[in-house]
């Protein structure tokens, strides 16, 4: 996959992916403190995969709530990469977190036994939802909220499991593209091994985000920022040298995954319906 023929001479400001990491961290810590405390909590649980996003989410949460305010939960499956657990434990040690390790193999394999040839994608979704179920259980046990770790790149493409890794109470990372999370990770001092590794959902051996998506995160984020944040037309993207097939595919992914970004659609039958004209903020009276 080559580079676009020409680089942007004038990148629209809205598509500028560079962050001021210090100020961004101030916003995120304030956000986590405010959203957690106004809901009546002091603590969050976060699923630690050993990957970049959950590591950064844990660092941000510790910045906001202190180490005592963050419970890390490691949920490996028997096929999980060895370095996933190792890197998650590295985050636990670096931050001094309370952590729990819960092997999801028996639960997932029980599902597997009761399903007829689920295939790796369905099984991947099962894993993701088993982890969600455990996280929500741990959140109740610890009187804590589930911290979300989905980034903007994933949310826009629908590259996540509905009611699985997409589920959370509070998500500090959802408006940061993957490449922006890398900038934040460097500022936070997330261990190099985690920052440098190949991004993967690790739902089956050898899985890789960039191989599945067919494009590097650098390129993908630049396209998304132009399309979404700067409202640049597809035609301009083509003129800037992005291949037609890639642009088409990205746009289709954004459109087709809209349902993952919304609550279920409700048939309207009354004067005031949930989702339409019962309009209260989430932070209603809190």
Partner 1 sequence: MRNVRVALAQIAPRLGDVRYNLDLHLRTAERARRERAQVLVFPELSLTGYVLRDQVPEVAQRLEGPVLERLRRACRRLDIVLGLVEEGPGHRFYNAAVYLADGAVRHVHRKVYLPTYGMFDEGRDFAAGDRVRIFQAGFGAAGILICEDAWHPALPWLLAQQGAEVLFVLSSGPTRGARPGRGVTSVAVWHDLLRVTAQFQTAWVVYVNRVGYEDGLNFGGGSSVMDPFGRAHATLSSLDPDFVVAELDGEILRRARTAYPLLRDEDLELVARELARIRALRYELPGEVDAAAQGVARGAPHESQPAAKVKRAVQDRRRGDR
Q: Which residues bind partner 1 (CB under 8 A)?
A: 16, 18-20, 22-24, 26-27, 30-31, 34-35, 175, 278-286
What's the helix, strand, coil split of the chain in %, to 5? 50, 5, 40
- Would you say 259 or 278 has its CB closer to partner 1? 278
Minimal distance, residue 67 CB to partner 1, in Å: 22
Question: Considering beta carbons, is residue 97 or 225 the nearer one to partner 1?
Answer: 225
List the structure tokens of 74.
């490691």
Burial class (CB in 10 A: 0-12, 13-18, 19+), 79: middle
Other beta carbons within 10 Å of 123: 20
Query: At which residue do the structure tokens 């996280």 appear?
Result: 135
Least CB distance to partner 1 at residue 148 (A) = 11
Nearer of residues 264 and 284 to partner 1, judged by Cβ: 284
Shortest CB 230 distance to partner 1, Å: 12
In order of 40, 255, 275, the CA distances from 267 in angstroms are 33, 21, 10
Q: Which is nearer to partner 1, 37 or 121 (CB)?
A: 37
148 is written with which tokens?
Answer: 């979300």
Question: What is the smallest separation between the CB atom of 162 and partner 1, expressed in angstroms?
Answer: 20
Which residue's CB is nearer to partner 1, number 117 or number 285? 285
Q: How far is the CB of 32 from partner 1 (least distance, A)?
A: 9
- Phi and psi for 136 in degrees, rounded to 5? -65, -35
């Amino acid at each position: 996959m080559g580079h676009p023929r020409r680089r942007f001479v004038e990148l629209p400001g809205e598509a500028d992916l560079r962050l001021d990491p210090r100020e961004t961290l101030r916003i995120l810590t304030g956000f986590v403190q405010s959203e957690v405390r106004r809901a009546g909590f002091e603590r969050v649980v976060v699923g630690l995969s050993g990957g970049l996003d959950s590591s950064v989410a844990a660092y941000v949460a510790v910045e906001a709530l202190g180490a005592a305010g963050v419970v890390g939960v490691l949920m490996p499956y028997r096929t999980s990469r060895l370095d996933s657990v190792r890197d998650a434990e590295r985050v636990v040690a670096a931050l001094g977190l309370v952590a729990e390790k819960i092997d999801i193999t028996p639960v997932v394999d029980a599902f597997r036994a009761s399903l007829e040839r689920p295939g790796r994608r369905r099984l991947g979704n099962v894993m993701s939802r088993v982890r969600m179920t455990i996280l929500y259980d741990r959140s109740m046990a610890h009187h804590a909220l589930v911290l979300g770790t989905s980034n903007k790149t994933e949310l826009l493409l629908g590259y996540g499991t509905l009611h699985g890794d997409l589920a959370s109470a509070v998500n500090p990372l959802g408006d940061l593209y993957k490449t922006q999370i890398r900038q934040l990770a460097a500022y936070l001092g997330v261990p190099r091994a985690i920052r440098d590794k190949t991004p993967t959902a690790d739902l089956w051996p050898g899985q890789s985000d960039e191989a599945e998506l067919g494009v590097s995160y650098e390129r993908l984020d630049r396209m998304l920022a132009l399309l979404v944040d700067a409202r640049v037309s597809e035609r301009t993207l083509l003129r800037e040298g992005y291949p037609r097939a890639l642009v088409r595919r990205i746009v289709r992914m954004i459109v087709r995954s809209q349902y993952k970004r919304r609550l279920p659609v409700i048939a309207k039958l009354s004067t005031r319906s949930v989702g339409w004209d019962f309009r209260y903020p989430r932070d209603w009276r809190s």
